[in-house]
Amino acid sequence: MKNQSQEFLKEIANLSPEQRKLFERRLQERGLKRPQVQAISRRQTSDPLPLSFAQQRLWFIQQLDPSNNSYNVPSALRLRGRLNVAVLERTLNEIVRRHETLRTTFSTNADKQPIQIISPFQAFSLPVVDLTKSTETQAEIERIIIEFTQLCFVLNSSLLRLALLQFNEADFILLMTTHHIISDRWSIGVFLREMGILYKAFVENQDSPLAELPVQYADWAIWQRQRLQGEVLETQVNYWKQQLGDELPILELPLDYPRPAISTDKGDHYPIALSQKLSDSLKALAAKKGITLFTLLLTSFKVLLHRYTQQNDIIIGTDIANRDRSEIEGLIGLLVNTLVLRTNLAGNPSFQELLNRVREVTLAAYAHQDLPFEKLVEVLNPERNLSQMMPLFQVKFDLQLAPVKPLELSGLTIERLPLENKTVKYELRFNLQDTVQGI
């Protein structure tokens, strides 16, 4: 997967020297700059391991509702061809050995505070469901997949589920589900990349070509908590207070039904495909304007929200991979952070002026991405409304760029299967993916 933060770096690179000086001066005038950071090092302690800020929020949510499965992260791969099941099992074992997060569970210490517990690696067998003689219909198979991917996790037990469905000697489905507390979207890309590399090596009777990881997720969690103190924390907090410290508007979407007194996670997903011609035209327009595709689409989305709400003060959330350090680029773990982007559309601006406003807000937010969303909510302490699904914003906008390289397993054709998902975390979310077929 390509890091969305690379898009922001590209945005900065596209600024003219005058624009870059102006941008840096505006940050300096507000006392806002991104401080130098220390390297992440391996932990040298056997003390109980703290959770990252994001993990702590998900742990708390799970305590409130143990039946919540909206933070399941499922994947299903159709594998066609001569699959070596023993090699696949060895491959999955090696990935679990490499990444401590896949062996992590959660408990509490004597003070009832959550802690991470990392179990030593133990080899495991890949569960294989033999359906070669089954009379199950396609609908029944889909039901099996849904039950597997939507089964709730218990945080003090394994948070990785794997299973292989075998239909005949050349047709399989590999199911994998994790809890979001130990992974994110980027992590799935890391998992699949390593799976392709390791399977190829092992099927050819070679050793793993992958270097050992320089740090583990728990090292990053310790580093994050140690770093977010003093001047570093103050700099981050000051920026976000300037952006979001006053009364935040509720985006009044034209809803079909009254907003319930207590929000639920029940919802649905609707796929929409833009033609390749239209997608290419949007990319060409972004290039002509000297901006990224993300900025162009986000600006257009905010104009759409303005049209339907007649509000000028538009706040949306967006994810950033938070992988701009080489030590953590190849980690499986919950590193993604949510940025809150607030843009004022007042004054009847031209579309070019709106592009400039959105770009400036986005770049400044990226420069201050190190404050975890969970910490931001704690600092701002907004009045909570049970009818709203999330604090600070109700609408999310994400752009997922096409994978650099699709998964390849020697001698197999691979298809990622769409999975039914009836749970949501936001009132409205646009989750765009840029593929070779279009957006």
Q: From the first residue on, what is the mean pLDDT of each consecutive set of 10 residues in the chain (439 residues)?
A: 51 52 56 60 84 94 89 94 96 98 95 94 96 82 89 95 95 96 93 95 96 96 92 93 90 83 78 89 92 94 94 94 89 95 94 94 92 93 76 90 68 86 82 84
- Helical segments of 228-335, H only: 230-244, 276-289, 293-309
Q: Alpha helices of 271-414 — where are they, by DSSP H? A: 276-289, 293-309, 351-367, 373-380
DSSP classification of residue 328: T
Whether 390 maps to a domain, the answer reads yes
69 and 34 co-located in one domain? no
**CA dist., res. 119 & res. 122, Å (int):** 8
Kindly state whether residues 156 and 115 are assigned to the same domain: yes
Same domain, yes or no: 35 and 70:
no
Q: Is 263:68 a contact under the CB 8 Å cutoff?
A: no
Give the pLDDT of residue 2.
Answer: 47
Q: How many domains does the chain have?
A: 2
Residue 270, in any domain of the structure: yes
Residue 113 lies in a domain: yes
H runs (alpha helix) in 80-137: 85-98
- pTM for the model stands at 0.86
Residues 165 and 261 in one domain: no
Is residue 180 domain-resident? yes
Are 139 and 167 found together in one domain?
yes
Judge contact between 57 and 71, C-beta under 8 A: no
User: Are residues 158 and 239 located together in one domain of the fold?
Assistant: no
Token reading at 390: 């999330």
* Cα(196)–Cα(317) distance, integer angstroms: 33
**CA 340 vs CA 299, 309, 320, 365, 374: distances in Å:** 14, 19, 11, 8, 12
Evaluate whether residue 211 is within a structural domain.
Answer: no
Range of the domain at 293: 4-44+229-404+421-434
CATH of the domain at 357: 3.30.559.30
Q: Are 439 and 275 in contact (CB under 8 A)?
A: no
Do 400 and 301 fall into the same domain? Answer: yes
Cβ neighbours for 174, distance < 8 A, ≥ 6 positions apart: 76, 77, 79, 88, 162, 163, 164, 165
